[in-house]
Chain A
Amino acid sequence: MRKKKEIVLTILAIIIALIFMVPLFWMIMTSFKNDFEAIAGGLNWIPKEFTFENYIYTLQQTTEVPVFRWLFNSLFVGIAGTLIIVTVDAMAAYGIARLDVPFKKFLFPMFISTLMIPFVITFLPLYMQFSNMNLLNTYGALIFPYTANAFGVFLLYQFFKSFPKELEEAAYLDGANKWKIFIKVVLPSSKSIIWTLAIFSFMQIYNDFLWPLVATRSPEMRTLTTGIAVMQQGSFVSSYGKLMALTTLATIPILIVFLIGQKQLIKGITQTGIK
């Protein structure tokens, strides 16, 4: 009876998994078809003529599709943004949770209340701000707006609040100052939660769409997500083979990050979900 139920559910789970995988499988298979086969070729799950021409074209036409530049931009912006977020959020969260920061009774609620504020309210003034300073189309414009988000401060604050005081006290008695304790005692014990924040931040920045779309104009400052959008409405509009080669290339790095960091990501989602 129990066995039978398990078998039925497993079959159901496999069917749903297939539905989830079809779009990705179709993307990868289309990327190996020539344009004619992609558009005309009937129900060909596996390409009749397996070709690498879409990848070769996408990777070689660097003036039309600067894939490597876009990949570099996305990775650079994602990594730099993540490093800044992790550093400043950890410091701020620790300060507020554990140190005698002046006005913290006022600062912390102010940070947290902005979690309710949607991005739509700040993206136009941010655009004007960077435009006034002539900084649109720069890495600064692509990085800094993400670093103001209070999510990380909130996440780490909860962790530091419940961090055992004894470790810090022992270090204080040994004569260490706040910075030393923060770097030598607190941070090493917070690796897991910091990884969680890092993966969240990286995925958000790497995959973001609207902000990089309005903050960049020139092709060489595009990120992968906005570059794909430009190609889809531009010269790749009728060549799905090439478009799929481009999206496959764009998806590989983030998929690797996702599969490696999945556990941390799930942990972060459930931790924020409970509160």
Chain B
Amino acid sequence: MAKSLSKERQKQQRISKFTSFLFVLPYLTLFSLFLLFPLIYGIYISFHDYNLLAVTHNFIGLENYVDIFTPDTSLNTQFFRGLKNTLQFVVYSVPLLVIVGLSLALLLNNLPKRLTGFFRTLYFIPYAISVSVVSVIFLWILDTNSGLINKYIMEWGGTAIPWLTRQPYAWIAIVIATLWWTIGFNMIIFINALNEVPDDLYEAASIDGASAWDKFRHITIPTIKPITLFVTITSTIASFNIYGQPHLMTRGGPGNSTEVLLMGIVRRAFEQRELGQASAMAILMSLLMITVSVVQFRLANGKKRGES
């Protein structure tokens, strides 16, 4: 009697687990087909001599990876050129994305309350636009002969600046377009972080006669530190993934100086048609990105522990 009861319960539990599993099954299927499988398949491809036009694709082990690290192979040149250019963009863009984002948030927070929402929307609008529209607009504004900026420069007696065809202007152009496009996202995160700084901290500091700068340095900055780190990590990842702006604005030029890593991977895959090599490049790039974000994250948590 007791035995059959527990069997009955077991059966019920199994049915219950099964119906619960049905909730996860659709996502699990999509996840397996379009994330897990390609992940493994990508590693598989990277171990093969995988030319898109060839009929057979031989297993070559780590050769693609070895080639990337063998000096003076074309693969080595393309990978490290791309890496160098991507890292340049990360170094130029991330500090601006963080500092300008925070500055705009500070500005909005100190405006009269009824104006905050209006300006927040205006600064945030470019975030809704696609990268191809952003690039086309800035191509046109920065055009050497008839762009808006150069028209003004020439009107005031200057000489036209080749924004998209000479360095360092090409990087400046790409960074400006990127800032305009994505800064609203970081600004929103910072606005929220600033709102969560407890008011009584500021009040106590005012009573002690602290200046606005003192309050910013000793109250605001320490309180928003975790969020600043989060913004730094997400901005770094986003900047690593840069593709559309140089693809459309400079096409990697002048002289490959803005051929970023992702662009190198796409060219390796669809121009040289060497998918195995491109996959090896992609995997190395991903490992690098994961490492950078883990290091940044560790750094943050380590510091937090040190403070308490």
Contacts and interface: CB of A to CB of B under 8 A. Distances in A.
B70 interface: no
Q: Is the interface of A mostly helix, strand, loop or mixed?
A: helix
Given A23-B138, A232-B132, A91 B38 contact: no
Interface stretch (B197-205, B215-223, B262-270): B262-270
A97 to B, nearest CB: 10
Nearest to B282: A120
B286 A254 contact: no
B137 A23 contact: yes
Interface in B82-111: 104, 107-108, 110-111
A243 B241 CA distance: 26
B129 A207 contact: yes
A17 B33 contact: no
Contacts of B152: 43
Contact of B42 (A23, A122, A210, A247): A122
Given A12-B107, A13-B119, A148 B129 contact: no
A91 B19 CA distance: 12
A92 B25 CA distance: 7
Interface string B258-281: 000010011001100001001100
Contacts, number: 261
Interface in B1-47: 13, 16-17, 19-21, 23-24, 26-28, 30-31, 33-35, 37-39, 41-42, 45
Contact of A273 (B227, B266, B278, B289): B227
B112 interface: yes
Contact of B185 (A13, A96, A114, A269): A269
Contact of A42 (B125, B136, B151, B283): B151
B30 A144 contact: yes
Interface residues of B, number: 88
For A10, A42, A89, the residue with the greatest tally of chain B CB atoms inside 10 Å of its CB is: A10
Interface stretch (A24-32, A161-169, A188-196): A24-32
A117 B290 contact: yes
Given A16-B123, A23-B180, A232-B139, A206 B30 contact: no
Contacts of B254: none
Nearest to A18: B122
Given A20-B180, A125-B45, A269-B189, A26 B141 contact: yes
A91 B27 CA distance: 8
Contacts of A89: 27
B38 A122 contact: yes
Contacts of B119: 13, 16-17
B108 A101 contact: no
Interface string B133-167: 10111111101011010011001000000000000
A187 interface: no
A43 B141 CA distance: 12
Interface in B42-74: 42, 45
A147 B230 contact: no
Nearest to B106: A9
A171 interface: no
Interface stretch (A46-54, A55-63, A221-229): A221-229
Contacts of B207: none
B274 to A, nearest CB: 11
Contacts of A149: 35
Nearest to B297: A116
A10 to B, nearest CB: 6
A124 B279 contact: yes
B301 interface: no
B142 to A, nearest CB: 10
A182 interface: yes
Q: Which 4 A-B pairs have the closest CB atoms?
A: A95-B23, A258-B128, A92-B27, A148-B34
20 contacts: A10-B111, A10-B115, A13-B108, A13-B119, A92-B26, A99-B23, A122-B35, A122-B39, A125-B38, A125-B41, A129-B41, A148-B30, A178-B20, A214-B270, A225-B130, A225-B131, A232-B132, A247-B137, A257-B128, A273-B192
Interface of A: 5-6, 9-10, 12-13, 16-17, 20-24, 26-27, 30, 38-40, 42-43, 84, 87-89, 91-92, 94-96, 99-102, 104, 107, 111, 114, 116-129, 144-145, 147-150, 153, 177-179, 182, 203, 206-210, 214, 224-226, 228-229, 232-233, 240, 243-244, 247, 250-251, 254-255, 257-259, 262, 266, 269-270, 273-274
Given A88-B30, A251-B128, A270-B188, 6 more contacts: A24-B137, A30-B140, A91-B26, A118-B286, A125-B279, A273-B227
